[in-house]
Chains A and B, each alone.
Chain A
Amino acid sequence: MTSDIELDQESPAQGQLAGDSHQFLTFTLQEQEFGVEILRVQEIKGFTRVTPIPNMPACIKGVMNLRGTVVPIVNLRSKFNMPEAEYNQFSVIIVVNVEQKVMGLVVDAVSDVLNVNRDAIEPAPDLGQNVDTAFITGLAKSSERLVTLLNIEELLMHDQEMAVAS
């Protein structure tokens, strides 16, 4: 709990901007940049102890105590078939709200908030076997950066392996 940042969703500056611009919170996983829609993000927490849940796929890291709420933690690295990393003080849990459920995503680090115009989002290319494209909204190019925008509903609720909603 070293670096808790509260994102105020009500504040218009951080919410959805006028027009077709959307805001995404970007984070890194193995040098790759990803983005989640900021309206889904409840807060960002430092990595804390996670209690493993038995008989779960590797991407379900376990559950943590978020001020009295038991929140499942998804390890995005194993979800994306990336090599496991040591979690340290830079590791971050992004707490998201999806379909009335609260879940945490472990990522390597959080970068910043990115404004993306809807027409600047390119459809997801076939990324090969490493990443299933079903939960990718598209790719956003911003100057030198290439950010993969994730559809976390698809990722957390409708994926076979996660089967969270079941």
Chain B
Amino acid sequence: MQIDISRFRDSFFVEAAEHLENMEAALLQLEGEPENTETLNTIFRAAHSIKGASTTFGMDEVGKFTHVLENLLDQLREGVAKASDQLVELMLTSVDVIEGLLAAEKENADPPGNVDEVIAALNEAFQAATGGQSLDGPSGTAGKAVEVAGESSGETIYQIQLLPSREFFCFGQDPYLLLRELAEMGQVLDIQVDSTALPPLAEMNPEHCYLHWTIKLQTEATEAAIHDVFMFVDEATRWNISLSTDTDTDTPKTSEANAAEGLPTETETDSQSQIDQTTPIAENTGDSAKAKPDTSAKSNVRRTISAGENETVRVDRRRLDELINQIGELVIGTSMVEQDLASFGAGRESAAMGQLGKIVRDLQEMSLSLRMVPIAATFQKMARVVRDVSKKLGKEVQFITFGDETELDKTVVDQIGDPLVHMVRNAVDHGVEMPSDRERAGKPTAGRVELRAFQQGGNIYIELQDDGKGLNRKTLLNKAIEKGIVDSSENLSDNEICNLIFAPGFSTANEVTDVSGRGVGMDVVRRNVEALQGSVSIRSEEGKGSTISVRLPLTLAILDGLLVRLGHEVYIIPLLSVVESIRVSPDQIKRIVGVGEVITLRGEVIPLLRLHQALQRGNGQDYEDGLLVIVEDQGRRMALMVDELLGQQQVVIKNLETNFRKVPGIAGATILGDGRVALIVDIYGVSLMHRPPANNTSASRECMSLDSTISCTQQDTAEANTDPNSLTVS
């Protein structure tokens, strides 16, 4: 049967990316503790999985490369070579190469240029490792060398039981391939097939596997290596590997005992194989029986972990969104029924309705949590960034993360990566000083960079703190004035000066390095974060370090909104932008030439926008005593005049672009409890629509106070400049 595997390609790439992620994380961990065999095994497993799968998909380049890497890893695992810093570095580069190769396969692009180079380096390292072994053998690290020698001289005999699941063939597997692979590992002394489960021909399903095998294998390979053969079989398939102490007196252990045995570590296998040679058989079996609890405890832990991994289900994002969408509809539908019921029942509360409402709300909450993923993977990538950048710059940096388990909307997590990379690079490049400078400043030579994530209210905060030199306000201000970002006459608070680094075209690095300093970094960070409906700010103390704080909404699917009425329509203003709402009398509204209407609120002049005019809604009503909603966007305040405040509500955001196009001044739409569509106001977009109206009103209203006009004009420079009628008051 020909199976079209191309449709699995996408999931292969997703899985491969995960393996690479694990590998990278483990490598970084290995750098700290080079002796950790469990970490090494993780790396090896990841490499092996990528190799196997990529070969299946005909990506020979990837397969070939991973094979070379795997050889080296094998040496490390065997304890022949040590995971030195150079080796880890080399392997990290290899991870990048694999990533590049995979990307090349995925997008039909050119493979990374340094493949051959890295392969050569890996081979060299491999040669060095194997060469080192033979040199070290006689004299060097006694225990290990002897173990290795012992193992190679006396091959171990394993009894392997293979119990394929019924659906074994349905997964595209073939027991013959497994058996052949086992045979290649050593010498097969005996193989038996158990056909007792085979039903009569009439009842037999030809697509099912009814046979079990028992293999006696004499090999140099470790038990872990044998387990690796079965790496890709389906979950229901069982296999047991046990040590067969003697070819003649093989009393196969019961399957329970075998199952409990699990995966002893290599050293145990090795030591057991040594015992085999020295101790009588009976005692050995007794010993191993006694020694079992420890081993089985270990293997049990492993089993649970892998079972846990298997319990996740991969779901297409669109289907998930669809589900969440429909549940959102269910919530709306329920509240519609509730309203109907209330009108029929004349105020009598229905217990059943209350119950249903609660279930539906729980359901919605649950559905939203489906999209939430921990930020750990993103933080992981930052560890690599810190490592690479600090190595390159010759700085010592201790990187610590907190709150890895904090959960965020998948979309947010996907999009926060790039801004975080910028931030982290900046912290290491500009924040943390060179070790010598640090010493002079009386700080520990190693800088400390902390990345924290936590939830507060309906927001997630990500904070990046370094203990570096902090921001120099004078330099910042001079730079900003030089670049024309601020005017020298402006009086800025310390905090405002610090936040200038988020202004477009701002970079304080004296020279452009390839690490940072292109003058786009922090500006891009701000824009990306704002695109996610978040905000970013920095606190800094000179000489002590800086903390950048990113605030993000928990989810992009839901928004806390202020419902306002404009004529007959309901509009929603994002509550995040709302500062306050006030009622003003007509005489509090002033008119300034070139600016339009403004109000003065506690001494601050705020431009006023009649929302119904900007959105062309309603007319003929007395808006003069309308309500004002003061909103803030990127530090700019604006007063929006509305007809009525209707209340506050969480709304599910619907994209207008899905079926239509982007509408200026509108961020999206939502469906209200009564089934109506309400539009969500885009504060920034609306602020762009704020144009000074044609100047035709009486001069008596015009405010000529110069002090207050200056700040107004500066706030509105963008609009004022584009308006040919504008007058510059200052």
Contacts and interface: CB of A to CB of B under 8 A. Distances in A.
Interface of A: 49, 51-56, 62-65, 67-72, 101-103, 163-166
24 contacts: A51-B679, A52-B569, A53-B660, A53-B663, A53-B679, A54-B614, A54-B615, A54-B663, A54-B666, A54-B679, A55-B615, A55-B616, A55-B665, A63-B679, A65-B671, A68-B326, A68-B329, A68-B654, A69-B659, A70-B659, A70-B660, A70-B669, A101-B659, A164-B661
Contact of B328 (A63, A68, A101): A68
Given A51-B569, A54-B665, A55-B665, A71 B676 contact: no
A102 B665 contact: no
B660 A72 contact: yes
B120 interface: no
Given A70-B659, A101-B659, A54 B678 contact: no
Contacts of A72: 656, 659-660
A130 to B, nearest CB: 26
Interface in B659-684: 659-661, 663-666, 669, 671, 675-679
Contact of B659 (A49, A62, A67, A103): A103
A39 B665 CA distance: 35
Contacts of B666: 53-54
A51 B617 contact: no
Contact of A70 (B615, B664, B671): B671
B661 to A, nearest CB: 6
A72 B663 CA distance: 12
Given A70-B669, A101-B659, A65 B617 contact: no
Interface in B224-240: none
Contacts of A71: 659
B325 interface: yes
B658 interface: yes
Contacts of B569: 51-52
A109 to B, nearest CB: 24
Contacts of A62: 677
Given A53-B666, A55-B665, A68 B616 contact: no
A36 B676 CA distance: 28
Given A51-B676, A54-B617, A70-B669, A165 B654 contact: no
A68 B671 contact: yes
Contacts of B654: 68-70
A42 B679 CA distance: 25
A55 B676 contact: no
Nearest to B328: A68
Given A49-B676, A65-B675, A70-B671, A101 B617 contact: no
Given A51-B569, A63-B656, A65-B675, 17 more contacts: A51-B676, A51-B679, A53-B656, A54-B616, A63-B677, A65-B671, A67-B329, A68-B325, A68-B332, A68-B671, A69-B659, A70-B654, A70-B655, A70-B656, A163-B661, A164-B661, A165-B661
The list of the 10 closest CB pairs from A to B, nearest first, reads A54-B615, A68-B329, A51-B677, A72-B660, A70-B654, A70-B669, A101-B659, A102-B659, A63-B677, A65-B671
A152 to B, nearest CB: 14
A50 B677 CA distance: 8
Contacts of B655: 70
Nearest to A68: B329
A153 B583 CA distance: 48
A104 to B, nearest CB: 9
Contacts of A67: 329
Contacts of B660: 53, 63, 70, 72, 101, 103, 164
A55 B663 contact: yes
Contacts of B614: 54
A87 B614 CA distance: 27
A144 B138 CA distance: 106
Interface in B93-149: none
Contacts of A56: 663
A52 B666 CA distance: 12
Contacts of A164: 660-661
Interface string B633-661: 00000000000000000000011101111
Interface string B307-332: 00000000000000000011011001
A166 B677 contact: no
A166 B616 CA distance: 22
Contacts of B615: 54-55
A65 to B, nearest CB: 5
Contacts of B658: 69-70, 101
A60 B533 CA distance: 28
A49 B569 CA distance: 11
A71 B326 CA distance: 16
Nearest to B329: A68
A64 B328 contact: no
Nearest to A162: B661
A165 B662 CA distance: 10
A115 to B, nearest CB: 30
Contacts of A63: 656, 660, 669, 677, 679
Contacts of A64: 677
A18 to B, nearest CB: 31
A65 B676 contact: yes
B617 A52 contact: yes
A4 to B, nearest CB: 14
B105 to A, nearest CB: 28
Contacts of B329: 67-68
- Tell which of B328, B615, B655, B658 has the most Cβ of chain A within 10 Å: B658
A68 B658 CA distance: 12
A158 to B, nearest CB: 13
Nearest to A71: B659
Contacts of B616: 54-55
A50 to B, nearest CB: 8
A67 B655 CA distance: 15
A65 B654 CA distance: 11
Nearest to B663: A53
A53 B616 CA distance: 9
Contacts of A101: 658-660
Contacts of A54: 614-617, 663, 665-666, 679
Contacts of B677: 51, 62-65, 70
A53 B677 CA distance: 10
Nearest to A69: B659
A55 B677 CA distance: 17
Given A64-B677, A68-B326, A166 B659 contact: no
Contacts of B665: 54-55
B664 A166 contact: no
A68 B617 CA distance: 24
Contacts of B669: 51, 63, 70
Contacts of A102: 659
A117 B658 CA distance: 35
B512 to A, nearest CB: 37
A70 B569 CA distance: 16
A160 B627 CA distance: 38
Contacts of A103: 659-660
Contacts of A55: 615-616, 663-665
A110 to B, nearest CB: 21
